[in-house]
Structure 1
C-alpha cells in the first residue's frame, strides 16, 4: 500500500511516499481503510524526534484516521502512528462510530483537537461561568474549538491570539470577544488591554518561550495556565514556586496521551462534541486538504503558520 514513511529524522524534507506492507489487525484491533488522515502540529515534532515520546525508525506518521472497517462501520480512530497511509490499525476501544451529520473533517478535528480542548477547559482549568479565557493560536485546530467551547460553557470573555489580521478576524467569527497579535514582544500589555486592563483567569498555552512568560505575567488571582504544546521550540524562563503563591496561581500541563489508558476519557468527551456538532452548536474548522504526495507541503505550511483549523490528508491521491 502507499504510505508516508520516514527513515531519518528531520524536517518536512524527510517525508516520502513509499510502498509498504499493509498492516494486519491483531487481537482486539480493527483494520481501517483510510478515507482521510488527520495532520497535527505534534506530527512535526514526531518527524524530527523532538516530541514528548521518542520515536523509532522507520515510521509512518499520523495519529488519527477516519474510514471504514471490514464490516462497513464508519469510524474515527486514534492510531498512535501509521495514519499517513491507505490502511491503518487501531485498538478497538479507540475506534468510535461517526454519527450522521458529522463529516470526515469534523470527526478528525474532534477526535484529537476537540477532546484536547474539552480537557483543557473542563479537566485542567475547571472553567467557571464568567471567567476570562485567553486562547493562544485561536485559529488553529485546538484553539478554534476551545474558543467555541469556552463561549458555550459560559466564559465571560474570550481573548484569542493569532499571527495575522485574517486569522484574528476568523477567531472573532468563531466567538472570540477580542483578538490580538500573538507576537511575544509586548504581548502582556496587549493581553491586559484586551481585557480592559485586568489580568485573565485562564490561559491555554501551546507556544512556549517568551509567549509563556508573558502569559503567566498576565494571569490574575487564582488564575490557571495550562501548557499543551511548545510550538516555538523555545524554553520559557524558570518559574520560582514562590511566584505561584502570590496570587494563588496554578500552572498545569496537559498531554492527551495521558488519557489513552482510559478510553472513557476520550470517548465521553467525543460523544458530547459529536452531539454539539450535529445540533449545529459547534463548528469544527477544516482548514485544508492535501494529497498524500503533498505531505511535505502540509508540514511546511503548518510550521510557517499558513494554516487554520484541521488539516486533512487524502491517501487516495
Structure 2
C-alpha cells in the first residue's frame, strides 16, 4: 500500500512494487501481518515531515512501522521499521528484530512494539517504579494504558489506580489488574484519585491526555512523586508548572516519546524480549482488535480515526 500525495485514508493505493533489498545489517522479512498506528495516519497526512525523527524519503512511499513475518531461513520474527511495513515484504534492521515464538499471535506481537515498549519504558526507564508504589494510569483501557496496568502489577506496584471515560472501560481496567478505576475527567479529578489511594498522595502518574487533566494530576503527587507525560489526546495546553511547586515536594515532571529512544537503541533487546516472554507465559495480555486485508488499509485508518476500533488493528497481506 503506497501513497503519492499527502491526505486522508483515501490516498492509500494498492500497487505492485519491486521487492525491497536488504543491505548490511538488515534482514528481508516476508510479512505475515502489519500493525496500524496513529503514526501511520500522521505520516500519510504529511504531519511527520519535520524534526530529527521525521519520516524520510520522497513520495511515493510505503507507510507502516511494525511487522510480523518470516525470514528466508524460516525464523518467525517481530520487527520495527520506520516505514515500508504495509507490504508483502519488508526490510528490517537486525537491531530492530526479535524472535517471536509460535504461542504469541501476530496481533499480540505487533501490540508489543510501539505500545508495549512505551509501557515498559514508562515504568522502568522514566518513572523508575519501585515496589509498593502507587501508580495512576490515564486512559487505562487503551492500547498503551492497558499494557501499563498489567506491567505495573508485574513490576510490583502497591496500588494501581486506573482512569477511563466510561463504566465499560473502567470495568475492563479492573479486569486487567487495576485495584480501583475512576472517571478521568479533569473536574473532580483530585478528589477521586486521592480517595482511590485511600486519602494519600500518589507516587507516579502516567499521562497521555494532557491539558486540564495533567494540571489536576500534578496536585495529586506526593513527596518524590513523578508525573510522566507521553501524549496529549485532549489537544489542550497544560498550565506551565512553576519550579517551586515541584521543589517543595521534591517532585518531578518528565516526558517520554518512544521514537527517539528506538532511533538510538533499536527495538530489539531485553525490554522487547521480556514483553514477548510475559505474553508467551500468559502473564501479559495485549489487546488485539480487527483484522483487515492489506488492500483495505484505508478502511482500517478510517476506523481508527473514527474511534470505531478497540485494540491493535492488523493488516494481512
Q: TM-score, normalised by structure 2?
A: 0.89
> Does residue 23 of the first structure (1) align with residue 26 of the second (2)?
no
For residue 17 of structure 1, give the secondary structure of its aligned residue in structure 2: coil
Matched residue, 2:55:
55
Q: Within 5 Å, give how 1:110-121 maps onto structure 2.
A: 110-121=112-123
**Which of 3, 8, 22 is matched with 2:5 structurally?**
8
Within 5 A, what are the aligned runs for 1:126-165? 126-165=128-167
Aligned partner (choices 260, 264, 269) of residue 261 of structure 1: 264
Displacement after TM superposition at 1:113 (Å): 1.7
Contact 2:122 2:206 in 1 (8 A): yes
Mind listing any 5+ residue stretches in structure 2 that lack a counterpart?
none
Deviation at 1:284, TM superposition (A): 1.7
**Contact 2:153–2:177, Cα closer than 8 Å, also in 1:** yes
Partner of residue 125 from structure 2, selected from 118, 123, 126: 123
Find the aligned partners of 1:14 and 1:239 in 2 and give their Cα distance. 41
What is the aligned residue count?
Answer: 311
**8 Å CA contact retained: 2:31, 2:68:** yes
After TM superposition, the structure 1 stretch with the greater mean CA deviation from structure 2, 188-197 or 33-42, is 188-197
Change (3 A) 1:214 1:289: farther
Against the structure 1 CA distance between its residues 277 and 59, is the aligned structure 2 distance closer, same or farther, given a 3 Å change threshold?
A: same
* Residue 111 of structure 2 is aligned to residue 109 of structure 1: yes
Name 2:37's counterpart in structure 1.
40
Q: Which residue of 2 aligns with 1:294?
A: 296
Cα deviations by residue, 1:49-104 (Å, 9 ceiling, x for unpaired): 43563335433221110001122111100011111222111112211111232221
For 2:176 and 2:255, how far apart are their aligned partners in 1?
A: 25
Q: In the alignment, which of 252, 275, 297 is matched to residue 250 of structure 1?
A: 252
Q: Which stretch shows the higher mean deviation, 296-305 or 222-231?
A: 296-305
Give the Å deviation of 1:127.
Answer: 0.7
1:296: Cα distance to partner? 3.0
Q: Distance in 1 between matches of 2:33 and 2:201?
A: 41
Sort the Cα spacing of 1:254 and 1:28 in 2 relative to 1 into closer, same or farther, 3 A.
same
Superposition map of 1:65-84 within 5 A? 65-84=67-86
Listed one character per residue, the Cα deviations across residues 238-288 of structure 1 (whole Å, up to 9, x for unaligned) are 22222221211111122222233324x741011112222222222222122
Which secondary structure does the structure 1 equivalent of 2:264 belong to? coil
Aligned to 1:198: 200
Structure-1 residue corresponding to 2:91: 89
CA separation in 2, counterparts of 1:130 and 1:205? 20
Cα distance in 2 between the residues matched to 1:17 and 1:209: 39
Structure 1 stretch displaced more, 178-187 or 65-74: 178-187
1:170 alignment counterpart:
172
Distance 1:306 1:190 in 2: 29
Distance (whole Å) between structure 2 residues aligned to residue 234 and residue 7 of structure 1: 32
What secondary structure does 1:202 align onto?
strand
Contact 1:133 1:200 survives alignment (8 Å)? yes
Deviation at 1:181, TM superposition (A): 2.7
Unaligned stretches of 5+ residues in structure 1:
none
Give the conservation status (yes or no) of the 8 Å contact 2:170–2:182.
Answer: yes
